[in-house]
Structure 1
Amino acid sequence: MRVVSGVDVLEVAPGGSGEILLDVVNTGTVIDGVSAHVVGLPVEHTTSRPSVLALFPDATGQLVVRLDLPESFPAGTHPITVRVVGQAGVTDAVHHDVDLVVGSRPQLSISAAPSVVRSRRRASFEIKVRNRGNVPLDVALRATDSDRSLQATLTPSTLSLPPGTTATCTVRVQGPRQLLGGDRERALQVEATALDQHEVVPLVLRQRSRLSAGVITAIVLLAILGVWASIFLFGVGAILGSDPYTKVAPASFFAATSVAGAAGTAAAADTTASGAPAGAVPRTGVLPAGVGGTLAGTVTAASDGLGVGRITVEAWRTSRTGLVVVGSAATQQDGSYAIAGLYPGSYLVSIKADGYTPVWYPSAADSSGAKLVNAVAQKVTGDVNLTITGNPAVINGKVDVGSVTTPVVTTVVARATWARDDATLTRTVQTAADGTFTLPDVVAPGTYELSFTAPGYQPSTITESVTGGQTRFAPTVTLASGTGQISGTVSDGSHPLGGVVVTTSVGGTPVVVGTPTLGAVGTFVIPGLPTPGTYVVTFAANGFTTATVVVDLTAGQSKNDVAVTMTGGAGTVNGRILAPDGSGLGQATITATGGPTTVTGTSLTTGNVGAFTLAGLKPGLYTLMVTLPGYAAQSVAVDLTTGTTPAVTVTMRPSWGTVQGVVQSGGTGTAGVEVQATDGQHTWKTTSTAVAGSPAGFYSFAQLPPGAYSVTLSEAGRVVTTAVVQVVAGSTVTQNLTLPAVG
């Protein structure tokens, strides 16, 4: 049979189909039915039309082999072999090798159920991640919220998904304590990243307050009343108190107040008649907005020069008892602040916050070196700017490198975003064995770019901001490892072997490749293996004993020097060793000799007694030698040129003989008489018995080697009767013995 095809490389898209056209010539002398089968692909993915092609001698026909690949079929080059065989069995099977090239199509999807949860503080979301592509995906999951008010934990945070599989991740969210107010929706999103795929699913924690709306309303009303009462009392105290600033305020600053020394004048009469000049405030009230003075400016960081938010700025005045805080304000996100409602006069300005060094305007460490700033009524005194220095911060975190057998050391580098090239601001550490790291003495406040690198892993980068003296806990960073591969050669010790089926598994899914029979014969490549990991690779071929190797791949590692030597010997001999009566004989030794290899086995003593199997024989002609104590050795010729022979049955012949008989006296059997058999070199003794089921006086010598024996009776230590018998292998000789009459 001869097969010709123009298809050596077939490209098929995932979920697509392809065809291999084969021109078949029947070179035999009989009509033959030819069929084609694909080695290296599951049967359900291949069809052939026609299923059987009938060909007359020297006739030519065409077979079309169709490959239908699912969307999740692994990407890469898959060597396959089309095996064309005739049903008549007069010609050998013909093989045609084809490289099946499947393109890469990564596709990732992510969904949440539920996506909105209403609770007081804690919630749990279930995230389903599915690999819809045809390449394995190492998926990194990360939960983020814009204001970082939520604590989110992902279990697990990384997933390894073979093509076509789905995995589940649980997101547990905890919000801040919310005592007052209505429901507040806190949004976060879960990001899934793998290769060039990036999917996001939004989640919402609808957080309930602990107090009801009615209670909140009552509390608000009480608070309003308390604030107004405080303002009233503060105003009365300020106007009627002994504060020097209130004393220097002119009387006309207050409503219904006569100017001292002007009584009786027309001006005084006009003032009293009108009630108060325009813009005057009541003596018993509080200072309205826009009437007092305002101090404003910006607080910037000494580290990066940017505005610092959430810093308390205080205005101080001098009283009889010392410095007193008369106003304060918190800086906005850009560092700006404004202290309003100040009575006209001079003030000291200071800033303070946890984790920062206190500063008095303009740059003094305490009030003694501070400079006074004037507040003018109904005006803003600006450019009261201060520079603040933060205490060193600490950034803690953890790097997840997946499941590894040996610790992976990751280098963590923190670079200041405002001065990346400044070595004095850069911090570099390495992770501990458990992946944790600590970046100490980080200049604060500021924003840093943290980069993570490890051998065999893809680099990763995150950005973290620190405030003065803060101990910052960065989110866990998951490093995605690169894929690896296993490749090498398969030989029989001297020549490369083609047509070997090479198998391993990824996540329980088998991965099958083969060695080509043309070109680079005996080579194999298993690409795209997730790392780190341990893989068991199996090699199988007709006529050879299956071989197995274990390969450990570290992150991103490729092992390209795997050399496997297969021993010939898929040939097998099965059979059974029998006794002459057809029963099985155990413990028989069977040795296959005379061929390329020598293999020895033993027949079974339990179950199918006498059965045996000799495996691992190279093709050839062998002689089976069967030996068993007590039986003559037997030999049987077997032909293993085709790999396997039909079951062999060997019947053993005993190599021992038996002498038995009855000791008689006066015509009746007599028990208790000593009987002895000897061949001149060895002596066997027994006593005639009276056991139920046997004749009285019966004796027996079993397992006697063939030869001549003298059988005697003894009484009182003297021989009284003698007989000579000839023992033949496998036979039983009966010899009765008679005791002489007494007297």
Structure 2
Amino acid sequence: MRLDIDPRRLVVQPGAPATFVATVTNTSALIAGYSVRVLGADPSWVRLDEPELRLFPDETSAVVVTLTLPEGVPAGERRVALQVRDLADDGAIAVQDVVLDVPPAPRTSLKLDPPTVTAGAAAVFSVLVHNEGNTQQVGRVVARDPEAATAFTFQPPSFSIPPGQSMTLALQARARRPFVGDPRMRPFELRFDGPSAPPADAPPAAAGVFVQKPRFARGMLALLGLLLALTTFAVVVTIALSSVVGRSAADRDLALQVAQARNQQAATGTSALSGSVTDLSTGAGVGDVSVEAFGDDPAEPILTTATTDDGTFVLAQLPAGEYTLRVRGAGFDETWYPAAPTQGDAQPVPVQTGQSVTDLTVLVGGVPATLAGTVTGTDVAGAILTVELPLDTGPLAGTPPEQGEAPAVPTSGAVVRTVPVGAEGTFEIADLPSPGVYDLVVAKDGFVSSVQRVDVAAGEDRTGVRLALVQGDGSIAGSVTGFSGPVAGATVTATSGQVVVETVSLTQDEVGSFVLRGLPTPAAYTVVVSADGYAPATLNLTLTQAQALTGVAVVLGRDEATLGGLVSVAGGKADGVDVTVTDGALTLQTVTQSTDPVGRWSLSGLRVPSTYTVTFSRGDLESQVLSVSIDAFGNVTAGASSATSVDVTMRPATASIYGVVLQPPVQDADPEPVGNVRVTVSSGSEQRVVYTASTPAGEVGSYVVDGLEPGTYTVTFSRAGTRATSEIVVLAAAQREPVSPTLVAPARIQGKVTYAGGAVGDGLAVLLYRASEYGTAAGPVATTTTDDKGRYDFDDVDAPENYLIEVRVTTDGSVLATSAPLTLGPSEQPVVNIVIRST
């Protein structure tokens, strides 16, 4: 029996069927039946079109084996074995390996729990990462929001997850909290980042929303608007306030009431209320305002006191009961605890006998203010003026505001108001909450942003504010070169926030040079240089005030590279070799050509710079792997002599044993080729069995065992009637090892037949029987006739076996004599003489 498999190595995608063909040849002289099965694979994965074969001598049949590996089978090399067994001889087994290459199929899913979180400055999510692929997944999760206003932190920052397992990451989202207004929706998306990350334009793996609550909700804004409206109305019907120093008669009366409240004391009671009054705009405590406690009578306060300089108050010696608190002061609107415009909207504060209720906070707002002024510059039309609450002072920083002007640099505080600047440069901002500290930011594309900090008193009407809008005074100059020299016509773009300035490199004179002018400073710029046929380059540059940066050298590499070479095969042709080039993210494939020059290959479209793994493979050859590094100019820096000389020499992947088995027909005769000798090649659990040829005459005794993996093998030759012989053979890859043994002569029985009187038994029939079959219907295994000297000879007798010899006049005649039973061992040649006695 001979077994051949094609191909011996194949790529199997989980879930997709893959086939190979096993060819079985009956090398025996008898009709034989064979069973075919696949070892090392679940039976449900395997389908055989012919699980059993019945072959005539020298007949060949092909069995198509289809393997379908289930999803989730780990990536890598997997071995299975095809076994063919002779149904009539349990020892006649042929086994050959098939190598299955399961390619990596990375797949990662992300699940955000919960998908939406409502919080203040920071929110916490859980991210479940599940490895749905068949290979170890290493990477990290990244989060992006469209406004780029949220910072994301993952713990742990990266992961390594085996196939089929999961891991939970803690995600913290943090953003600058809105000061006032509606809750802000901050949507974001999650993506997987790693060697097997999906392309950038693929849908996100998960999405979530961080709902950020403001420090003061819209209801508070409505209250503030109402307070401002009331204050504005009061200002219109009374005297316009030019500064916080001027006070109305009502304010003076209120101040007197505050002074009287300092001396007022409750008559009875053991309870107390205490807290603070805070300016809504500045976050600072408000001193010298009255705090009144109302009980059952909403018209008359039970007790009145005044806040200290830091805004704290204490209402002591109160009877047990339920109270509403009113706060009034010069320059501030009347407010009920905690921030209500009327007593009906106030929140009652219950107090028990002897109880002290502390930490009561009342928010009050000042009367509105107005700012007006002029923006100066060469072209102020279209400029935007933004009023911001600064982050380094005031309520957003939790510290009292400082006096003075801010440095002339852009800020990113909480936006309070945005107004356009007219062509003449004038602006006016009305109904501005006061008192407060604000940053006035004027900006326009192509100009330097200007910032001025103002401290606005309650109800102040300030004019004459002047802001300057200056044309961009910075520049960046340099040159662009590539792999063949200066690059003309390259696009150079500088970006900083909303500012975008673009130019191209010169095409004559100083070819490749460029200058970006009119850049606002100070600022940080991202400069992108691109040109056809080149990979883009990105630089991060920072300009100080009015800086002219020169000498910027930009070197552009190739946008892609090409690798190629020649594959040769020792003693064979190199066409049809698979060539795979990959750097982990990009994978390209080709095959070597079959036309002249045979074995040539080439692949273009490779990204640079990068390091590529180049794999050469063919089913009948040993795979070879090279690591080739390419720089930004497409030149090979390691792994090969050049980009067009990535050459390899391949050799056959398996070894073989062959030869001719000889045996003398009888002892001391010359050996000659002999057929039907069983040749067994074994190594560990692997075993291959073939038989030497018996036809045609020119190939008798020859055999071949191919497809052997490099290693150490025991080769055993056995034939009926002959002692077996063995040899140990060490095979290297692609080795063809000749093994041609000479077997000892086969078993033989010979002797002489005589009569009891000494006469020679000439021409008598001699029959050889198996002892176990003697006396049954079974006939003799061999028959011969004595010569004129009474001698007989049975050559090439099966052994070991028990025999009995019979002598007759003729084959069908009466029995003259019978020998004693004879035990014959392999290659034994006993002499058995038989005497015919008279009857």
TM-score above 0.5, yes or no: no
Q: TM-score, normalised by structure 1?
A: 0.37
